[in-house]
Structure 1
Amino acid sequence: MTGESDESAEETQASEEAAESTENGLQDGDFVRLAYTARTVEDGSLVDTTDEEVAEEEGVADEGTFEPRVIVLGSGHIFEGVEEEIEGSEVGDSGSVTVPAPEAFGEYDQEEVRTVSTDKVPEDDRYPGAAVQIDGQQGYLETIIGGRARVDFNHPLAGDDIEYEYEIVGEVEDELEQAQGLMNMFFDMDLDMFIETDEVEEEQVVESDDDDEGEPETETVTVEKETLYIDSDPQLAMNQQWMFQKQQIAQQLIDQVGIDRVIVQEVIDGNPMGGMGMPGMMGGGDLEEALEDVDVDADEIAEELDEEIDADEPTTE
Structure 2
Amino acid sequence: MSELTVTADSRIVVQLVLTLSDGSVAESTKANNKPALLTLGDQSLSPKLEAQLLGLTVGSQHKFSLAAEDAFGASNPDLVQYFSRQAFLEAGEPEVGTIMLFSAIDGSEMPGIVREISGDSVTVDFNHPLAGQDITFEIEIIDINPVLEEQNENLTG
What is the TM-score when the length of structure 1 is the normalising length?
0.38
Unaligned runs of 5+ in 2: 105-109
SS of the residue corresponding to residue 123 of structure 2 reads strand
Of 92, 100, 115, 1:124 maps to 92
- Corresponding letter in the other structure for 1:228: L
Are positions 1:163 and 2:131 aligned together? no
Please tell me the root mean square deviation across aligned C-alpha atoms, in Å: 3.3
Of 105, 108, 113, 2:72 maps to 105
Deviation at 1:96, TM superposition (A): 1.0
Which residue of structure 2 lines up, in the alignment, with residue 315 of structure 1?
none
Are positions 1:178 and 2:151 aligned together? no
Q: Specify whether residues 108 and 31 from structure 1 end up closer, same or farther in structure 2 by C-alpha distance, changes over 3 A only.
A: closer
Q: Specify whether residues 27 and 40 from structure 1 end up closer, same or farther in structure 2 by C-alpha distance, changes over 3 A only.
A: same
CA distance in 2, matches of 1:29, 1:151: 34
Contact between 1:102 and 1:159, CA under 8 Å: does it hold in 2? yes
* 1:103-156 deviation per Cα after TM superposition (whole angstroms, max 9, x unaligned): 3332123344343322112362333223345663543331131x3333333332
Deviation at 1:44, TM superposition (A): 2.0
Q: Rg larger in 1 or in 2?
A: 1
Over the matched positions of the two proteins, sequence identity in percent amounts to 22
- Corresponding letter in the other structure for 1:125: E
Are positions 1:50 and 2:24 aligned together? no
CA distance in 2, matches of 1:78, 1:165: 15
Q: Specify whether residues 168 and 45 from structure 1 end up closer, same or farther in structure 2 by C-alpha distance, changes over 3 A only.
A: closer
Greater fraction of residues in strand: 2
Count of aligned positions? 147
- Higher relative CO (Cα under 8 Å, sequence separation at least 6) belongs to 2
Contact between 2:46 and 2:72, CA under 8 Å: does it hold in 1? no
Please list, as runs of the form range in 1=range in 2, the aligned pairs for 1:1-317 lying within 5 A after superposition: 26-47=6-27, 49-51=28-30, 55=31, 61=32, 66-76=33-43, 78-122=45-89, 124-133=92-101, 136=104, 138-141=111-114, 142-145=116-119, 147-172=120-145, 177-180=146-149, 194=152, 227-229=154-156
What is the TM-score when the length of structure 2 is the normalising length?
0.67
Q: Specify whether residues 121 and 68 from structure 1 end up closer, same or farther in structure 2 by C-alpha distance, changes over 3 A only.
A: closer
